[in-house]
Structure 1
Amino acid sequence: MQLKVNDLKIKLMSKRMLDKSATFFNGLMRCIFTWLVFSVAVSQVNAQGWDILFGGNGEDQAYSVIQTNDEGFIAVGFSQSFSGSDPFFDFNVYAVRTDVDGTVIWAKPFSEDLSANVHDYGYQVLETEDEGFLIVGALIENNSRNVYLLRIDKYGNVLWKKTYGTPEFEETGFDIVEAKDGEGFIIIGLTSDPDVGGSSDILVIRVDGDGSEIWTQTYGGPNRDEGTSIVALEDGFVFSAISKEDDDQNNNILLTRIDSQGEIVWSETIGEIGVGEEVRDLILTRDGNHLVMVGASNSLANSMVAKYDLEGDEVWTTEIDGESRLNDVVEIKGGDFVACGYKDVTPFKQAVLMVKVDFETGDLIWEKSIEGNIRTKFAEGLAETNEGGFIVTGYNSLSDFTAFNDVMLIKTDENGDLITNHIIGKVYYSTDGCNEYEEGDVDLKDWIVKAESDNATYFGTTDENGNYDIRVDSGFYTVSLLTQNPYWSVCNVEFTIDFNTFYDTTSFYFPVEAELDCPWLTVNVSSDEVVVCEDFTYTVNYANLGPVTVNDPYIEVQLDDELEFVNASIDWEALGGNLLRFGIDDVLPTNKDTFTIDVAWAEGCEDVQEDQAIVISAHAYPDTLCLEPGPEWDGSSLAVTGVCDQDSIRFYVQNVGEVAMAEGVTRTAFIVEDQIIFNMEPIEIEGLEPAEILELPAIKANGSTFRIIAEQSIDHPGYNYPTVAVEGCVEEEGESYSTGQYAQFPENDQDPYISIDVKEAISSNSPVILRGYPRGYQDSIITPTTDLNYTIVFQNLGTDTISRLVIRDTLPAFLDRTTIRPGASSHPYDFQIYDNGVLKFTFEEIQLLPGSSADAALTRGFVKFAIPQLPDNPLGTIIENSAAIYFDYEEPVYTNVTRHFVGCLDFLDEEEGCITVDTDGPTIPGLEIKVYPNPFNETVTIEIGGGYENEEVTFNLFDITGRLLRSQQFIGNKYDFNRNQLPSGLYIFKLESSEGKQIGSGKMLIR
């Protein structure tokens, strides 16, 4: 290959560096430098995004980037770093694929022979219909250069590769597009005769879908002509090229339209004689009526954006002053154009240049420069992201001693801004106090670090080595570590940092020490959706989040009566009554583990109703907390139980503490029937001795779901919340009963060593769903102190095994991101919370089988997490949440939106509580009012027993706010009411005589 000597300035300005890159000697060895953290402010700020570097010890460059089907990105170029023979002379096509956050999924070199002196380069990439990619560039082998077309699948596996050209000429492909007629692709580049120095022609090659050549055409004059970009029309193509003038060394721009066979329709030379211009990219506008190109003008002193019609006539041209050049352009969704390239900051330093110009006029809207502390940043490729920002690729230099270094990937917001400052450090536990980090200290994983300013808050999560990295905007920040529980204390609670520049980094280590020398044993249990009569598996996660080992631990699991135990992944002991005990090994500080329980439905599962609650509880022992109780705790501890006893429901309150309730202290309890407070007056609990049981009056079974909620002893240690529900209790076997009411309220599992999982039985699985628990009173009402549990369920409905799955949940602003608790899951995951509170679960090597698999359970998975609300959420707060699920490289699938409404301060408050008080029963002695079926779908019967006949009755129906919805008259003792499009929910009815006297009232639930 002929070597050419050019000055550094020309090298830096040439986008197509085939000859020059192959001969450039990189004299410095360096380590792989990959920067990766993502941060966006909680409040509305201008900048967001990230800046990531990829590469190795050699020269690494990228020229093209696109956003992929899965909302991630792929950047393509070439690299010296991964050659097996000589890292200073062998170049390979290099592709980096990331997810939407910039996390590397794979990064691969591609070459005909990694161990030989073979060079191949990638200059453009496009995504194919099957979610794979085509990469076009050049292959140099045995001193012969040809156009190189590489076809890879979405995993980065090579499907095929083709070369085009002849041994006598040197050919390079710079751009590729898909033909509009559906018949393959079109490649543009250059071809040159090595024996004729300085001369080349434009090369256009049309290939079919398999890469087989259909036709090849060359265009140009006696001097150097280089095709740079091409767009597809319905009946042909338009390409741009650089064409050298006859009389001097200046370039002009050539714009040429050809038909589907490559015959010229028209060709226009653009530029002034004696003034150099270059074009680097060409696009067709979305409306198909215009062409837009970018490059350099004014003897390459200015960058340029120009708009032309399809006849080659100029509409407008915009020049951006300064030593700069634009290399790529996109039309954004709003209709304007954004382009990227570089500009000279100094003669020896270049920065990324981004500009936005108006669609109609070409007027400059904004111009942005991305510099950093490094010497050089070149932008070569650009794409608009789905969220309205931009992804930019190129390359950079880290020092004055190297021209180029790493592949660069920059994500910006819609204004071309990004955040570049870093706060990094480590979180660790030193058993000998608040000392500097040393060997033997415990790295703390999944701890959350917060950086907060007056108008923005950023989060980061520690990795398996205890390291955190938060990217923040400029400004003054207070950085703090959030402890996982009260057993830890932070040696240096917080520090402050003032960033008054960009691309700055500060480091701070957080040593923590034991506040209490106690274990903090946690347990969490959950499952996939519960489908009637289908076997399923529970996952039990447990962890010691305290500083001291848990000795002789075990976990007791109580299964629902509708279930039968089948097997477990660890040893177990049956204690009777569907209660199981699982012995586990001692749990060291910060360690965690998991086991599974396989269950089947008990006999008669076909009688289980839709939305019936299936409940499992897990209780980890030892279950003592080292927390000091409040000063007013009397030593008592209240617990509640409930049973269905033949035709009655019985609730009990017991003092399970070691001390009697203090004299004069009264706690209250309420009983809720479906959605109505059953007892008009609160139940008073007082004077209970240790182990003493208060039996409440029996409640006649009528198919409603009854729940007792009691106040715990004042200043009780921990988070105990006495409540229990009884569902499905009827007077006679076979009678219908209400369902869907159990999950309205939280269960008594706020203490870390207890987990209660409530699932409502369904008839069939949902492929993707987000469940919020508790669901909320009626349909969504919660108090400001209600913690929320979310379970995300997913299923592979595709035809291929899923090897990687990612869940992203941008948490609602009303939830406390600092105290999130990741829980049980079907598969191992990595947990992160970053940016303004984006929650990310990554399941590597999940291996979800295709939906057609015989074992449906292996096609599905789930993950559960809990999160409190922010303190003092005001009444009226609406908390809506949803998540995006990324199955391998597929388009993300979005879950449903869950909704919770902060509707009252306290469910049990007699004056300001939000639970509807029960209405009176029959007001005339001897009468009995029956409502059946209740709940109902379309029609319900109201029957008045006790001799009430042949008199006119008025039926009034109200919603739960007291608004009258229906008023109808009937004669007799029986009335059939039809819902007539009434929405599902709880309603109140009243019956009045013809004299206006109330006969009775009640409630009905429409499904």
Structure 2
Amino acid sequence: MKRALQILVIGILLHLCSRVFGQGWERVYDFAPPRDVISLPDGDMIAYGFRTHRIGADGSPAWSFLHYFTDGGFSKASLSPRRAVLAPNGNITGIGMPRFVVQGPFAGEAALFQISRDSGLLWESYFNLAPGDSLYAGFQDLKLAADGGYYVLALISDSISTTNFPTLREPDIGLIKTDSLGQVEWRRNYPYEPYQPGLINATYGLQILPNGHVIIMGIGQSGILETDALGNEVRRFSIGQHNGEPFFRFGQILTLPDSCYLLFGHQYSSSGSSQPYSVARKIDADGQLLWETVLDDVAPCFNRAIALSQSGRILALSNSSAPFGPPGIILHALDLDGNKLWWRHFRWPFYQSGRGIDEGPDGSILIAGSRTVYDPDVSGIISRGYLLKLDSLGRLYGSLAQGNLFEDLDGDCDTLPEAPLSGWLVELQGQQGYYGITDSLGNYRIPIDTGSYVARPIAPSAYWQACTPEAPVSITSNDTLRTNFPIQTAVECPSLQVDLSAAFLRRCFPGTYTVSYCNTGTVPAAGAYVEVKLD
């Protein structure tokens, strides 16, 4: 059996702003990847990142807005929302950092602003995150208050580290309350607490309880801090590791209808392991573990976002990526007892990831993120904004194209599978293009909309040939169609591919190089080796 890896960059994969209809849709946009998505009552959605975009229920762009903060009548800097929420009046309130990049990552200033649902700035408010100009501060989270105002969570410190990626040293936590127009009403600071071994490590975030109290996660040795609506401390409680497991880190917290909490994070399978898995945990009001569910059905993955649906389901969004498995978006649905209802894996031949999740008014599931595509304008790979709309069961399309790619060892071109070929790309081309990658058994599965298509395997090198280069297929509603492709050797020759990459290079600092190599030819490459020479 020979294993061929698809490593070619195929320009036809670029399908910016292409429309897809069916039970769901997916769209790649000619704008930067959004940080999150917010569902609107009429079925439209807001995707925000470098710009704020309104997207129609069918995926069509409605408008795009880039806000420039003004100071004394002069444009000061562009504002990219770090967080955004849907205000009670139906407009969108965002928060951004208006300082220029040269002023450092923790300049300490923030601008709260509101954009009309029909585009256009309604108001803006500019304030310091830290109580003094000499302090460093960094924004963490934004939430809507019960009275229509806003809570802003920040980290505050007197100094920052001097590493390649600066961080705040021993930061205090700052909570800022504003009115509905972004004017600061009060500030509260909570002293830094060092992390203690045996407790869960957490990122920083906010949740608002039904009684108006505020939950702040990431408080050093305590884990979680609860305040009243005025920021006065009510209590702190710790979240211990489960069964002594020291590897769990949670990044999101949700309050549940029964006054318990849902934690979403990731953990490693064992000490020293490099394979992470997303984990959902429910704790009671005192931090005691009630249940835990490890989301290990598909591939190693990192937690990204979590939401609670109108029907009471938990929607857990994760990302898988090399070297932890095939790149893609993984979505799990759980009930409130932690039982898995279903999971979906949305793969892409290159790289794609989910960043935010929300539920539409009709129960549909919205995912915002990024997809890597080939751009002929720059003759290379770029990352674009990506939106995925699914039905309430996480299905993109109701029909499925599937089949098997295998090496035809006996040369009879019969479609009965023989030696499987994994890692090959399969294309279905019609009014819209669809792509899939064969697994270790040579199987491919491509969710697809109804229509007429031409299916074809894409060989990783010119040394392979398909017995049937193309096969017409017609997909009807809720249909499953199988097409196998026997592949034969065209030329008996190895085809060696080598790629060398480094994520970050800086003079006099250590760097990590990744060497990727494979043989996409039809015979082994005896005596082949890779030599890397640095000068």
Please state which band the TM-score falls in when normalised by the shorter chain: 0.5 to 0.7
- CA shift, 1:240, in A, is 2.3
**Cα 1:301–1:242 shift into 2, 3 Å:** farther
> Equivalent residue of 1:217, what SS?
strand
- Aligned partner of 1:218 in structure 2 is 189
Check conservation: 2:42, 2:361, Cα contact below 8 A.
no
- CA shift, 1:392, in A, is 0.4
**Cα 1:194–1:352 shift into 2, 3 Å:** farther
- Aligned partner of 2:348 in structure 1 is 372
- Within the candidate set 359, 368, 391, 2:366 is matched to 391
Within a 5 Å distance, the mapping from 1:73-112 to structure 2 comes to: 73-78=45-50, 94-112=51-69
Q: Which residue identity lines up with residue 323 of structure 2 in the other structure?
A: T
> Equivalent residue of 2:383, what SS?
coil
Q: Distance in 1 between matches of 2:183 and 2:157?
A: 22
- Aligned partner of 2:137 in structure 1 is 171
Question: Residues 699-736 of structure 1, C-alpha deviation per residue, up to 9 Å, x if partnerless?
Answer: xxxxxxxxxxxxxxxxxxxxxxxxxxxxxxxxxxxxxx
> Equivalent residue of 2:393, what SS?
coil
Q: Distance in 1 between matches of 2:248 and 2:96?
A: 24
- Within the candidate set 158, 167, 171, 2:121 is matched to 158
Check conservation: 1:136, 1:175, Cα contact below 8 A.
no
Q: Distance in 2 between matches of 1:99 and 1:385?
A: 12
Question: Residues 353-408 of structure 1, C-alpha deviation per residue, up to 9 Å, x if partnerless?
Answer: 2111121x21222222212122x222121111222220001223336998972222
- 2:261 is the counterpart of 1:279: no
Check conservation: 1:32, 1:55, Cα contact below 8 A.
no
**Cα 1:365–1:497 shift into 2, 3 Å:** same
Check conservation: 1:65, 1:393, Cα contact below 8 A.
yes
- CA shift, 1:215, in A, is 1.9
Q: Which residue identity lines up with residue 134 of structure 2 in the other structure?
A: E
- Aligned partner of 1:411 in structure 2 is 389
Q: Distance in 2 between matches of 1:213 and 1:409?
A: 34
- CA shift, 1:73, in A, is 0.5
Within a 5 Å distance, the mapping from 1:559-958 to structure 2 comes to: none
- CA shift, 1:238, in A, is 1.4
**Cα 1:39–1:172 shift into 2, 3 Å:** same
Q: Distance in 2 between matches of 1:34 and 1:343?
A: 23
> Equivalent residue of 2:358, what SS?
strand
Q: Distance in 1 between matches of 2:281 and 2:334?
A: 10
- Aligned partner of 2:305 in structure 1 is 328
Per the normalisation by structure 2, the TM-score is: 0.61
* Higher relative contact order (CA closer than 8 Å, sequence separation 6+): 2
- Aligned partner of 1:201 in structure 2 is 172
- Aligned partner of 1:297 in structure 2 is 267
Check conservation: 2:178, 2:184, Cα contact below 8 A.
yes
- Aligned partner of 1:363 in structure 2 is 339
- CA shift, 1:68, in A, is 0.6
Q: Distance in 1 between matches of 2:177 and 2:149?
A: 7
- Within the candidate set 65, 72, 97, 1:138 is matched to 97
Q: Distance in 1 between matches of 2:399 and 2:139?
A: 38
- Aligned partner of 2:228 in structure 1 is 259
> Equivalent residue of 2:387, what SS?
strand
> Equivalent residue of 2:35, what SS?
strand
Check conservation: 2:292, 2:338, Cα contact below 8 A.
yes
Check conservation: 1:124, 1:175, Cα contact below 8 A.
yes
Q: Distance in 1 between matches of 2:306 and 2:250?
A: 11
Question: Residues 227-269 of structure 1, C-alpha deviation per residue, up to 9 Å, x if partnerless?
Answer: 22322331411132274x7xxxxxxx92222111222222233
**Cα 1:195–1:175 shift into 2, 3 Å:** closer
Q: Distance in 2 between matches of 1:225 and 1:68?
A: 30
**Cα 1:55–1:470 shift into 2, 3 Å:** closer
Q: Which residue identity lines up with residue 386 of structure 2 in the other structure?
A: M
Within a 5 Å distance, the mapping from 1:551-566 to structure 2 comes to: none
Q: Distance in 2 between matches of 1:209 and 1:380?
A: 27
- 2:9 is the counterpart of 1:37: no
- Aligned partner of 2:405 in structure 1 is none
- CA shift, 1:37, in A, is 1.3
Check conservation: 2:145, 2:212, Cα contact below 8 A.
no
Check conservation: 2:83, 2:94, Cα contact below 8 A.
yes
Check conservation: 1:353, 1:368, Cα contact below 8 A.
yes
- Within the candidate set 206, 210, 225, 1:233 is matched to 210
Q: Which residue identity lines up with residue 270 of structure 1 in the other structure?
A: I
- CA shift, 1:320, in A, is 2.0
- 2:310 is the counterpart of 1:310: no
Q: State which structure, 1 or 2, has the greater radius of gyration over its C-alpha atoms.
A: 1
Q: Which residue identity lines up with residue 136 of structure 1 in the other structure?
A: I
Query: Unaligned 5+ residue runs, structure 1?
Result: 1-30, 41-47, 79-93, 246-252, 423-459, 461-467, 480-495, 508-834, 837-1007
Q: Distance in 1 between matches of 2:134 and 2:249?
A: 28
Check conservation: 1:241, 1:255, Cα contact below 8 A.
yes
Q: Distance in 2 between matches of 1:303 and 1:410?
A: 21
Task: State how many pairs are aligned.
Answer: 379
Q: Distance in 2 between matches of 1:476 and 1:381?
A: 24
- CA shift, 1:305, in A, is 1.2
Considering only aligned residues, what root-mean-square deviation do their CA atoms show, in Å?
4.0
- Within the candidate set 169, 176, 185, 2:150 is matched to 185
Q: Distance in 1 between matches of 2:279 and 2:265?
A: 5
Q: Which residue identity lines up with residue 370 of structure 1 in the other structure?
A: F
- 2:356 is the counterpart of 1:381: yes
- Aligned partner of 1:880 in structure 2 is none
Q: Distance in 2 between matches of 1:274 and 1:314?
A: 13
Q: Distance in 2 between matches of 1:49 and 1:305?
A: 26
Per the normalisation by structure 1, the TM-score is: 0.34
Q: Which residue identity lines up with residue 98 of structure 1 in the other structure?
A: I
**Cα 1:303–1:418 shift into 2, 3 Å:** same
Question: Residues 277-318 of structure 1, C-alpha deviation per residue, up to 9 Å, x if partnerless?
Answer: 333322222x35222221222388221212223333332222
Q: Distance in 2 between matches of 1:309 and 1:402?
A: 50
Between 1:194-203 and 1:148-157, the stretch displaced more is 194-203
**Cα 1:49–1:262 shift into 2, 3 Å:** same
Query: Unaligned 5+ residue runs, structure 2?
Result: 1-12, 162-166, 196-200, 401-429, 436-445, 459-468, 471-475, 478-535
Question: Residues 517-555 of structure 1, C-alpha deviation per residue, up to 9 Å, x if partnerless?
Answer: xxxxxxxxxxxxxxxxxxxxxxxxxxxxxxxxxxxxxxx
Within a 5 Å distance, the mapping from 1:381-530 to structure 2 comes to: 381-398=356-373, 405-419=383-397, 469=432, 474=447, 479=452, 497-498=454-455
- CA shift, 1:271, in A, is 4.5
Check conservation: 1:396, 1:407, Cα contact below 8 A.
yes
Q: Distance in 2 between matches of 1:402 and 1:239?
A: 43
Q: Distance in 2 between matches of 1:126 and 1:499?
A: 44
Q: Distance in 1 between matches of 2:158 and 2:301?
A: 31
> Equivalent residue of 2:57, what SS?
coil
Question: Residues 597-656 of structure 1, C-alpha deviation per residue, up to 9 Å, x if partnerless?
Answer: xxxxxxxxxxxxxxxxxxxxxxxxxxxxxxxxxxxxxxxxxxxxxxxxxxxxxxxxxxxx
Q: Distance in 1 between matches of 2:38 and 2:342?
A: 23
Q: Distance in 2 between matches of 1:227 and 1:100?
A: 32
Q: Distance in 1 between matches of 2:307 and 2:349?
A: 28
- CA shift, 1:66, in A, is 1.4
Q: Which residue identity lines up with residue 371 of structure 1 in the other structure?
A: R
Check conservation: 2:319, 2:353, Cα contact below 8 A.
yes
> Equivalent residue of 1:270, what SS?
coil
Question: Residues 647-695 of structure 1, C-alpha deviation per residue, up to 9 Å, x if partnerless?
Answer: xxxxxxxxxxxxxxxxxxxxxxxxxxxxxxxxxxxxxxxxxxxxxxxxx
Check conservation: 1:203, 1:227, Cα contact below 8 A.
no
- Within the candidate set 62, 65, 69, 2:37 is matched to 65
Q: Distance in 1 between matches of 2:264 and 2:338?
A: 12
